Structure 1
């Protein structure tokens, strides 16, 4: 089996000498002329799932998948293969603690295929079915033996459950309406519920949380009127049997531009209705960007001073300064205190186009309908906020992102908790930027770690699609594609590889690291 030979490679062991250091590196040769593609899904102490995808040009097979679970030393535990029928295309994926699910669709038909990969032993099960109508799928989740698919049919949202037992489908009620967009669709295994969060660019920018039973029965609905503030996105995190936190970003003018973040507690009463409160008494607590202590630390000192002076001046006049940013909000990270919210700030670079796109509701398609298409996403900084279980903001911090742009809007920053510290890191070609923080303080400011080839006689000629994953304990996992060339003229030709590098971030002993960056003393509650 091809992937078995790819693992019979040398391992590089490097002693720890700095905050970030390489431990082990594995390289897998690739053919740059072929349509090879790798992806990695971290499984914490269980290792990681390595997925190799190759498109077949002819015959009954469209794609060939090789799955391998590797342990924490980057060595394989098992390998499994799946051959996808031609005409089917990969559409989405979902992973929980037990399984990896891959969704495939056949364009122009209602046919779907879902494989369920057992992460313990690599056993694969195939489920085939037919949806009641062709939909533009945008969301995919699984809970128990039901797959939940969300998308659009004639530009109206549609969510349905697909049973693995009998391939039957059940359409969720109350969603198929005009001018409604699906913000997120989450499975709540704690309560065995499915939450569908929608918002409307019209109808006063109404934001709605609809909860369903696993078989699609409506349980409850809560609506937020966007007359004053419109909620852009939201995520639900259960904190007890009868209470959850709803948290996300909001806008003041019904646009994709965020003015800040919000948090509210959702309490489930005996009557099945919902009451929404915070410890501050208001239904929703809105936290403007100017109320965060470190949000503007990505700016150079002079510009930051001007911005903060403007905020202080406006506050003294009893007025607020409205800042508007586009946010890419990560999945919430549960902590012992409550949760950590991570978001990356970016802006879009457009190019003109005469192509008119139809279907879908993303910002990219909205821009395309207006004769513009997003060409690149430019990242400026990431910020993170710590909340307790009551939804109170405890601290915030910021990581500047320099000269990072991408044709796809995907998360770049990874966050690792090493209590009481937090490590923030992001890749930049063959280098990694990291920052160590403790609540509001920065302890190690923008450290740079450069990865090196296995042999001293080699160099990285090119690096593509670099990624970094917070793995387990103090370890990160860096991946990507590289062309490696010799430093000696006339020797071996360049080779192309997909690499995995295990990295360890060593937190300084208590008392050896001092804050290197002052923070604002403004009360965030004002």
Structure 2
């Protein structure tokens, strides 16, 4: 009977009604022994920007960049080159609707260089300048003709505005303090403001939102101090002329381990300094992970049942169950209803290292100290939360991530909104996992699509650095590096390429079945 139930369940949820399909594939040959690199920036229905970086070993040029824009059919529109001065290194980039900006610095000096690439025709403007001192830059945004640079000088945070007109630099006030870290820096073109979110891990985990005018004049400071929990990250999304939502994750003990997500509203009409210590009035709404319907759907049915039973038992006893996770929160996605928050859950895997050090200035006695370094990140699942414009939680869902490890902590899951449906996808070597959901229901559960070579006589022997981008409409763009060999044991020489694959995800609404709760309704013995 259990086997029959399992077979029936698998049949009901079999993803036969919507899936990924290959449309076009483009390959760029590469030399596997070089340090050359490609990257791709989707531009929605305007196509995509392909960036090729080639390191020049000698001479006055450090890197040669080739920028080329493709349309949505993956045909080239324009191509342009840029030679970066020797000793300069790339730091960060920023893209808006009109331009792509790239920031370069000369290590150990105050020198910076910013290029502005016109996405319509490929023309490049170059802006050079000097910072007040050598600064470790970590944040980069552009609004209008000002670049906003955030970073650290002697372990204290700094934010500056660099003018493209006259190469002058203006330092923002109120940030250069001890034990303060920059959580995020955003430009608000809707109101022409710059928001800097900071937190203090050593000062009661104080969380502060500072807003500035484009020329660096302080507008308002909101200090979330004395709240029930410690706010550890946040993002601001405008919802009206005078109001925004602040959303992020929080912890119970001022650590990087999140206990849930929070949302609160910010009134922009007010100016000046405001100390906010509210868990009442216009309250901060805390949403514990156990309050989400589908957060634990990444677990196998038996383990999920045990976790949910524990939550129910503790709630009946009037107690809370505290779950602690590390979160990689994506940029907020505006929707017609309000917004979608996407976050990936991960944990760190460490390796131990032995460091030999000498005690004292003149002693010859040596000792060995063991330390731990992060070796890679293991992803477990991603979750989505839909909010309305008042900050009310409307729905949540979950995508399990199996056996994905990375030496860099970067987003893996892409989210595409299609009318009432949401497609979630992530890469796994030469495969793409996807899942179709509608609010808190799963319609197509963990579909698997395998990329194919252009010729039937070829095969992939290795895939590295795969990425999936939500592109435009119903299309995804998959990229990465691959080694291609002859599939039939012929004499063809293996070749290495950087690939771009256009994929389509169709959701024929007239064939979609009724929504099902995928894992919570399964037989625990299945």
Structure 1 length as normaliser, TM-score?
Answer: 0.91
1:405 aligns with 2:432: no
In structure 2, the partner of 1:114 is 114
In structure 2, the partner of 1:329 is 329
Supply the distance in 2 between the matched residues of 1:270 and 1:112 (Cα, whole angstroms).
36
Supply the distance in 2 between the matched residues of 1:430 and 1:409 (Cα, whole angstroms).
20
Higher alpha-carbon Rg: 2
- 1:514 is displaced (CA, Å) by 3.0
In structure 2, the partner of 1:416 is 416
- Report if aligned partners of 2:225, 2:276 keep a CA contact under 8 Å in 1: no
1:81 aligns with 2:81: yes
- 1:419 is displaced (CA, Å) by 1.3
User: Structure 2: 5+ residue runs without aligned partners?
Assistant: 1-15, 357-368, 522-526
In structure 2, the partner of 1:502 is 502
State how 1:33-432 maps to structure 2 within 5 Å: 33-225=33-225, 228-269=228-269, 281-353=281-353, 371-432=371-432
Supply the distance in 1 between the matched residues of 2:419 and 2:394 (Cα, whole angstroms).
15
- Report if aligned partners of 2:227, 2:278 keep a CA contact under 8 Å in 1: no
- Report if aligned partners of 1:399, 1:435 keep a CA contact under 8 Å in 2: yes
The alignment of Structure 1 onto Structure 2 pairs a total of residues equal to 494
Supply the distance in 2 between the matched residues of 1:454 and 1:96 (Cα, whole angstroms).
33
Aligned to 1:223, what secondary structure does the other structure show? Answer: strand
Aligned to 1:510, what secondary structure does the other structure show? Answer: helix
- Report if aligned partners of 2:246, 2:266 keep a CA contact under 8 Å in 1: yes
- 1:274 is displaced (CA, Å) by 6.5
- 1:512 is displaced (CA, Å) by 2.8
Structural RMSD (CA):
2.1
- Report if aligned partners of 2:141, 2:147 keep a CA contact under 8 Å in 1: yes
Structure 1 residues 93 and 370, CA gap change in structure 2 (3 angstroms):
farther
Supply the distance in 2 between the matched residues of 1:244 and 1:402 (Cα, whole angstroms).
36
Aligned to 1:216, what secondary structure does the other structure show? Answer: coil
- Highest RCO, 1 vs 2 (Cα 8 Å, sep ≥ 6): 2
User: Structure 1: 5+ residue runs without aligned partners?
Assistant: 1-15, 357-368, 522-526
- What CA deviation, in whole Å up to 9, does each residue of 1:411-458 have, x standing for no partner? 000000001000000000000000000001000000000011000000
Q: Give the stretch that moved more between structures: 470-479 or 512-521.
A: 512-521
- 1:202 is displaced (CA, Å) by 1.4
In structure 2, the partner of 1:30 is 30
Supply the distance in 2 between the matched residues of 1:34 and 1:70 (Cα, whole angstroms).
25
- Report if aligned partners of 1:239, 1:245 keep a CA contact under 8 Å in 2: yes
- Report if aligned partners of 2:482, 2:497 keep a CA contact under 8 Å in 1: yes
- 1:279 is displaced (CA, Å) by 13
Structure 1 residues 479 and 315, CA gap change in structure 2 (3 angstroms):
same
- 1:519 is displaced (CA, Å) by 7.2
Q: Write out the 4+ residue segments of structure 1 that deviate beyond 4 Å after TM superposition.
A: 270-282, 518-521
In structure 2, the partner of 1:361 is none
- 1:344 is displaced (CA, Å) by 0.1
Aligned to 1:384, what secondary structure does the other structure show? Answer: strand
In structure 2, the partner of 1:460 is 460
Aligned to 2:239, what secondary structure does the other structure show? Answer: strand
In structure 2, the partner of 1:12 is none
Structure 1 residues 136 and 279, CA gap change in structure 2 (3 angstroms):
closer
- Report if aligned partners of 2:18, 2:507 keep a CA contact under 8 Å in 1: no
- Report if aligned partners of 1:277, 1:284 keep a CA contact under 8 Å in 2: no
- 1:352 is displaced (CA, Å) by 2.1
- Report if aligned partners of 2:436, 2:442 keep a CA contact under 8 Å in 1: yes
Supply the distance in 1 between the matched residues of 2:428 and 2:515 (Cα, whole angstroms).
25
- Report if aligned partners of 1:293, 1:520 keep a CA contact under 8 Å in 2: no
- Report if aligned partners of 1:265, 1:277 keep a CA contact under 8 Å in 2: no
In structure 1, the partner of 2:7 is none
Structure 2 length as normaliser, TM-score?
Answer: 0.91
